[in-house]
Amino acid sequence: MENTMGKSNTGDKANVRVVVVGDSGTGKSSLIVTAAAETFPQNVPPVLPPTRLPADFYPDRVPVTIIDTSSSMEHRTKLAQELKLADAVVLTYACDTPATLDRLSTFWLPELRRLEVKVPVIVVGCKLDAREDTQVSLEQVMSPIMQQFREIETCIECSARSLIQVPEVFYYAQKAVLHPTAPLFDQETQTLKPRCVRALKRIFILCDEDRDGALSDRELNDFQVKCFNAPLQPSEIVGVKRVVQEKLSEGVNDRGLTLTGFLFLHALFIEKGRLETTWTVLRKFGYDNEIKLRDDLIPLSFKRAPDQSVELTTEAVDFLKSIFNLFDLHGDGALRPAELDDLFSTAPESPWSEAPYRESAEKTALGGLSFDGFLAQWALMTLLDPVKSVANLVYIGYQGDIASVLRITRRRRLDRKKQQSDRNVFQCFVFGPKGSGKSSLLNSFLGRPFSEAYSPTTTERFATNTVDHLGGNKKTLILREIPEDGVKRLLSSKESLAECDVAIFVHDSSDEKSWKRATELLVDVAGHGEDSGFEVPCLIVAAKDDLDPFPLSIQHSTRVSQDMGIEAPIPVSMQLGDLSNVFRRIISAAEHPHLSIPETEAGRNRKQYRQFVNRSLMFVSVGAAVAIAGLAAYRVYAARKNTSG
């Protein structure tokens, strides 16, 4: 199982730029001229102009541009500029001058780090023919340096004068760029890197057509043809399996090559320096140099208006249901943490291991995700980052048409006109002053027990869950908690409310200051909606209903509700678990987006002014019509008078 093509897949790199650096007199210019001309020059200038090795110089058929540099102090700025443009660095020392070898670790390699040169480094010992001590091996010399400087990709000795290993220098430099080690292999632990393992596991599963956990001879041969355009002979298949079985008994079973064996083979290729084999496989299956699927395989944007959102289609949900059941090994209707990790083990990393997805869904007693929780988590990812959602669907095995997994919803502005919404996923912004109970509301939405301990929320937080709605319908509700300190920043953007279906305003019903601040926030948000044209239904939530209300709370709340034209506050107590169907009521408000839209005094004045202007225009129109009619009547009368005259 190896690359038998003349040209391997090179990740679409059109040219490789190699910058040659090192102490003066180490043979940089002679090395470059000899590589290009294939003869040793008698005279070379101190610094050569850029030298180009044509595409057909090496098997990968990618041209190489070699940049010579000066090591003198007055050219340090120029050197730094060239290094910033480098794809790879060739760092030279002279085999007959030990001091130049010492300078690699005392000056050159630290200098490359200081300049933040993050490309492969090829260390080259020039003037091999002039070295007197031939007892010391290259490995003995370079091993301590390579331990300290992991950016060194390869070490090689050469002689331009004797034409020993000169073309190999730039071949290794080119190879380090086209087929880099760093994304695939951890030099420190001598193991495949996690992302590489995950990609190879996905490729293995895609090639294991009968899903029996092993690649049969036919599947191995199909894989070889797909990647390298050449079949494997039966004797070669036997040979491949024998190599694996000798080193790793579990790498082969009676059905064929196992995943363990497949991974072992790639580790073996890399250890032997045949990285192009693994890279060809990865690139044939659409991976880029970061071992993620290429951009052209995943749509990078979904054109939509600010008040449209993205949801999963029925087809995507059906696929996720089949995947959920496949990985629910315990059959308990939930994915435990290990099962969820296994489900995402073919993605570059688990997409839900960090904020905002971590801790955003309801968990079972064993820390698992129910199917509803699983779908709610996908709905959140699709809403916030549809590209990430599509990519992960593909990573976990979706092979259908990408266009059929997402739907873009109708504009919210149009929903308000039509007085209904056909969305399945609603986003609710949760506003309120510090200590009002916002976080407790989100926790109760996720089925978490009430806690007396107060920890202020400093960054936005999401909670997503499925809500059983009227008539047996299920809707996904996403609560987005906005910290009090973040409201001003949120409202600084004109379109900030465009993606909001409902806004709720939580206050501590026992604290008058909390109520006043919540109403201020309500007025700010309602005013922003009126100004921007992205008006949203609003509900007031009176939290901590188990405590005594502040004096005149009912009168205050009634007045505000009536003045702004919205529902009376919904009383809830997270401590007692009495939530007054608040989540269903949020869904109801979202489904009827023309109701519960608050009206501020400024908005009311503007509306009255517009009505006044419209009425005035109407009177002007009527007046003009009367005047025109009168003029026409006068003309008729005048005409008749003239006729009779």
Look at the alpha carbons of 191, 196, 198, 200 in this order and tell me if their dihedral is positive or negative. negative
Task: Compute the CA torsion angle 417, 420, 422, 427 (nearest 10 deg).
Answer: 90
For residues 249 and 170, the answer to whether their CB atoms sit within 8 Å is no
What pLDDT does 162 receive? 93
What is the rounded average pLDDT of the residues 515-525? 95
What is the rounded average pLDDT of the residues 91-115? 94
Least confident window among 25-29, 403-407, 466-470:
466-470
The three-class DSSP label of residue 408 is strand
Q: Which two tokens stand for residue 355?
A: 């904020």
DSSP state, 573? B
Q: Which two tokens stand for residue 415?
A: 């929903």
What pLDDT does 134 receive? 64
Measured CA distances, 390 to 204, 327, 351, 397, 402 (Å): 21, 19, 12, 11, 7
> Is residue 77 predicted with pLDDT exceeding 60?
yes
> Is residue 44 predicted with pLDDT exceeding 90?
no
Measured CA distances, 311 to 296, 405, 424, 508, 599 (Å): 22, 8, 8, 34, 30
Could you give the angle at the alpha carbon of 250 between the alpha carbons of 246 and 253, nearest 5°?
95
Give the number of residues written for the chain: 645
What pLDDT does 7 receive? 39
What is the rounded average pLDDT of the residues 250-278? 93
The three-class DSSP label of residue 586 is helix
Rounded Cα distance between 414 and 317, Å, is 26
Rounded Cα distance between 36 and 38, Å, is 6
pLDDT > 90: percent of the chain: 75
Rounded Cα distance between 95 and 156, Å, is 11
Task: Compute the CA torsion angle 530, 531, 535, 539 (nearest 10 deg).
Answer: -60
Give 552-600 pLDDT, tens digit per residue.
888 998 899 999 999 999 999 999 999 999 999 999 999 999 989 998 8
Sheet containing 64-68: give its strands across: 51-53, 64-68, 16-22, 88-94, 121-126, 152-157
For residues 122 and 156, the answer to whether their CB atoms sit within 8 Å is yes
Give 216-237 pLDDT, tens digit per residue.
999 999 999 999 999 999 999 9
Helix 601-644 to helix 512-532 angle (10° resolution) is 40
Rounded Cα distance between 245 and 251, Å, is 6
What pLDDT does 137 receive? 80
Rounded Cα distance between 360 and 376, Å, is 9
What pLDDT does 4 receive? 38
> Is residue 1 predicted with pLDDT exceeding 60?
no
Rounded Cα distance between 388 and 293, Å, is 11
Phi, psi dihedrals of residue 93, rounded to the nearest 5°: -140, 165
Instruction: Specify which residues 94 forms β-bridges with.
Output: 126
The three-class DSSP label of residue 422 is coil
Helices (H) and strands (E) in the chain — how many of each? Answer: 22, 21
More confident site: 169 or 186: 169
Closest Cα partner for 185 from 281, 272, 87, 249? 272
Phi, psi dihedrals of residue 43, rounded to the nearest 5°: -130, 135
More confident site: 134 or 483: 483
For residues 398 and 347, the answer to whether their CB atoms sit within 8 Å is no
For residues 484 and 434, the answer to whether their CB atoms sit within 8 Å is yes
Mean per-residue pLDDT of the chain: 90
Do the bridges between strand 369-370 and strand 406-408 make them parallel or antiparallel, or are there none, so unpaired? unpaired
For residues 79 and 189, the answer to whether their CB atoms sit within 8 Å is no
Could you give the angle at the alpha carbon of 121 between the alpha carbons of 119 and 124, nearest 5°?
160
* pTM recorded for the entire structure: 0.83
Least confident window among 241-250, 340-349, 611-620:
611-620
> Is residue 625 predicted with pLDDT exceeding 90?
no
For residues 539 and 505, the answer to whether their CB atoms sit within 8 Å is yes
Q: Which two tokens stand for residue 566?
A: 């919205």
Q: What contacts 478, CB < 8 A, 6 or more positions away? A: 376, 379, 380, 383, 425, 426, 427, 428, 462, 463, 464
Count other C-beta atoms under 10 Å from residue 384's C-beta: 18
What is the rounded average pLDDT of the residues 429-439? 96
Phi, psi dihedrals of residue 543, rounded to the nearest 5°: -85, 170
Q: Which two tokens stand for residue 336?
A: 């435990």
Distance of CA 291 to the CA centre of its chain: 13
For residues 175 and 87, the answer to whether their CB atoms sit within 8 Å is no
Phi, psi dihedrals of residue 159, rounded to the nearest 5°: -140, 115
> Is residue 319 predicted with pLDDT exceeding 80?
yes
Rounded Cα distance between 287 and 293, Å, is 4
Instruction: For residue 478, give the H/E element and its range.
Output: strand 474-481
For residues 384 and 476, the answer to whether their CB atoms sit within 8 Å is no
What pLDDT does 470 receive? 72
Q: Which two tokens stand for residue 366?
A: 């064993």
- Please report which confidence band the pLDDT of residue 452 belongs to, taking 50, 70 and 90 as the band edges: confident
Measured CA distances, 286 to 197, 199, 419 (Å): 15, 10, 45
Rounded Cα distance between 579 and 595, Å, is 22
Q: What contacts 400, CB < 8 A, 6 or more positions away? A: 315, 319
Phi, psi dihedrals of residue 510, rounded to the nearest 5°: -95, 0
What pLDDT does 281 receive? 96
Q: What is the DSSP string of 128-160?
A: GGG-S--SS-HHHHHHHHHHH-TTEEEEEE-BT
Do the bridges between strand 474-481 and strand 425-431 make them parallel or antiparallel, or are there none, so unpaired? parallel
